[in-house]
Homo-oligomer: A and B are copies of this chain.
């Protein structure tokens, strides 16, 4: 399976790329600048000791992949989605963005649609299967790809089959995935990130996370 990570040169992208590449997926890092994408891909390949990750411009990365993840800061959420919209029809779009308050990352600034995920679905229309995932996993923890991550990944979106595919993609990274239901839950999942950022600051740690308890094992 080909998975592209748009904005993949940023915070979460490299960790996600490394973990998916190690799981045997064809991973593409997308960036606004193709050169930057290629440079980061080369750095990650060097770290892996294998040529597993490619770098492309965002639209090209979106065009060739079956699953497209978006990891840009929320300020670039709408513009990036619009720039690749034509390549996404019928595909799975994993929204990793969190609409944090730009003046205080411990607070949310939820968009009118309710959440980044719901905004993405609104922009892309029903032909694209938008699924939220990875919002609560710290970039720091993701990047240390040799280490397990003590954080569940809540997965939500309106297309059950697409959700199932993303649940599997999360598990392939070695993370535990939880089916968090429909897209409207993304506002809760995204908001949790602001709470965790607050905990990181208050408790002076880098990677607080969450686990869901009481589910069947």
Contact = CB atoms under 8 A, between A and B. Distances in A.
Contacts of A216: 203-205
Interface in A20-46: none
A210 B180 CA distance: 13
Contacts of A179: 202-203
A141 B187 CA distance: 26
A48 to B, nearest CB: 26
A214 B150 contact: yes
The interface residues of chain A, by DSSP majority, are classed as mixed
A198 interface: yes
Interface residues of A, number: 39
Which 4 A-B pairs rank lowest in CB-CB distance, beginning with the nearest? A208-B214, A150-B213, A211-B211, A209-B213
Contacts of A192: 188, 192
B184 A199 contact: no
Given A106-B185, A141-B214, A185-B195, 11 more contacts: A106-B181, A138-B214, A151-B213, A181-B199, A181-B202, A185-B198, A188-B194, A189-B195, A205-B216, A210-B212, A211-B213
A4 interface: no
A9 interface: no
A191 interface: yes
A63 interface: no
A154 B199 CA distance: 11
